[in-house]
Amino acid sequence: MEKAALNSSLKIHAYFVCFNEEVILPYILDYYSAFCTKIFLYDNLSTDETINIALNYPKVKVIPFDTGGKKDNARHVQIKTQEYKKYSRKGGALCEEVADWVICADIDEIIYHPNLVDVLAKYKEEGVSVPQITGFNMVGREELKAGTPIEKQYMKAVRDPVFDKRMIFSPDFDMAYSRGCHPYGAGFDLMKETLGYFTSNKYPLALLHYKYIGSILYESALKNYNRYAKDGISKTRDGRYMGPGAQYRTYVEKGLEYNPLIGKAKDLFDENWEICFDKFPPTSGEEGVHKANIPNKIYTEDVDLIRDSALAIESYNLFLAQELMKIALRFRPNGPLIIRKVNEYEAKLNGQVVEEK
């Protein structure tokens, strides 16, 4: 009985940065309204139905902010590291309720555990201030279905350590984030050196990122691409875009049907909606994600590019084709075409006759 009372009285506040999210917003607010006592939506002057939707949720407080029509990552970090101190921390200038936990997330992210509140109660009892997170990109071609919780609509995911974001923490803790709130960089290092930091992965929590679903990827790319300065994006010799907003331009050009994670996803849940963590690489934990292996997307578009470049030059530069295909093999060791081509190139370079298939 004591435990149940503790769980039911847990105060959880959620903070989001938002711009034109009318499609996914109802599903996200439905999810968090089920266990949060307050939700703070920092709206970057949306022009769609975002505000009208948010006003239908009694727990939501909308706070507008203006960045002149541009996406300002520094402002996003400021919101996620400072605003909770006003509203959720004891003694905060605008605090009406002291929170037990603060969640800082993007509008397409949920923190998931089938018994989330119970787990957070245990972490609080054990003195954990910043639980570790395991990040997943949820994948599916189906559009969101009204009336069905978002966490029950998509079963497949791709593990992405870049989304091991420390998105939930005690409001007494002075959180530090780098750009994007990802688990690397100066902010991540500072977080681990901050007074009161105590972490654990005893009860694993997942971040589920809903970008690669339905038409969300393409629509998000269209929306965000227009919020970056176009002269900040350059094109490399191999045809890839670089610079702030480059990934959005790529998705815009590839079109609505393009989804780089389709075919790479695995079933994430078991029959009890528990996450099958054992099928995927573990959380990056205290080590975080090293800059050397960011982004882990090397096994998606980048590997395809390396593989296809090898195929394109195999008729006139077999040695270079072999070297490129070996690089592709390092990042996609089970790719049947890559394996076959590596063996074929090696045989040809050794003067062996290779039967064409």
Name residues whose C-beta falls within 8 Å of residue 83's C-beta, 6 or more positions apart in sequence.
15, 40, 42, 63
The fold of 2-213 is Spore Coat Polysaccharide Biosynthesis Protein SpsA; Chain A (3.90.550)
Tokens 């091991």 correspond to what residue? 164
Residues of the chain short of pLDDT 50, as ranges, are: 1-6, 291-297, 299
Q: Quick one: pLDDT at residue 69?
A: 86
Q: Quick one: pLDDT at residue 231?
A: 65
CA angle 288–289–291, rounded 5-degree value: 135
pTM higher than the cut 0.85: no
Name residues whose C-beta falls within 8 Å of residue 62's C-beta, 6 or more positions apart in sequence.
41, 43, 51, 54, 55
Q: Quick one: pLDDT at residue 292?
A: 40
Q: Quick one: pLDDT at residue 244?
A: 66
Q: Quick one: pLDDT at residue 91?
A: 97
CA distance 201 to 236: 40
Q: Quick one: pLDDT at residue 188?
A: 95
Helix, strand, or coil (residue 160): coil
Question: Which parts of the chain fold into alpha helices (H)?
Answer: 2-8, 25-33, 50-54, 73-82, 84-87, 116-125, 185-193, 216-225, 246-254, 301-313, 318-331, 336-349
CA dihedral 79, 206, 23, 301 (to 10 degrees): 100
Q: Quick one: pLDDT at residue 331?
A: 78
Q: Quick one: pLDDT at residue 293?
A: 46
For the chain, give the mean pLDDT.
88
16: enclosing H helix or E strand = strand 12-18
